Amino acid sequence: MPQDIVIRRERPDQPEVVELLRALDDYLASLYPPEANHILDVASLSLPEVRFFVARQAGVRGGKAVGTAAVRLMPGEPATSGKRYGEVKRMYVDPQVRGQRLGVALLEQLEGALRDERIGMALLETGRDQTEAVRLYERCGYVPRGAFGGYPDNGLSVFYGKRLGD
């Protein structure tokens, strides 16, 4: 990750962050029908069980927002053998700064937040047509798994998980 990028926990309702989230929404809408997009809105990203992070270019006045990532703390369920987990949500990197391992850094930030909460498992749902995201998750140690969290196994979604420790 470039040295001029800083990742920290922030509020998702800032105008420039909302613009990044809107860009992600537009991208997802270009790939999938509305019922296949499982998006947390800004209000949901502000809930106490969500840890929301923003990546900013430090050298730009005010620190331009260039990436987002969130993790939602979830209770155990049958699909996780009753174990609590963190669900990765709203991963997005501005296309102008891609290729600098910012996605990896955002995932590491989320995983660190989960470890701080003593949660040993990260799960995610992504779309099968998001090949860059799938490659990122696999490179970072996420392995395919079954559906969880009430998501439908609709053929458009793929599910991944990663153990973060005990």
Q: Quick count: other Cβ atoms within 10 Å of Cβ 18?
A: 14
Q: How far apart are CA 121 and CA 88, in angstroms?
A: 10
Q: What is the pLDDT of residue 2?
A: 60
Bridge partners of residue 72, in order along the sequence: 50, 87
Q: How far apart are CA 70 and CA 45, in angstroms?
A: 8
Say what the pTM is.
Answer: 0.92
Tell me the pLDDT band of 89, cut-offs 50, 70 and 90: very high
Q: What is the pLDDT of residue 58?
A: 78
Q: How far apart are CA 45 and CA 130, in angstroms?
A: 22
Class of domain 5-119: alpha beta
- pLDDT tens digits, one per residue of 107-116: 999 999 999 9
DSSP symbol at 109: H
- pLDDT tens digits, one per residue of 17-35: 999 999 999 999 998 888 8
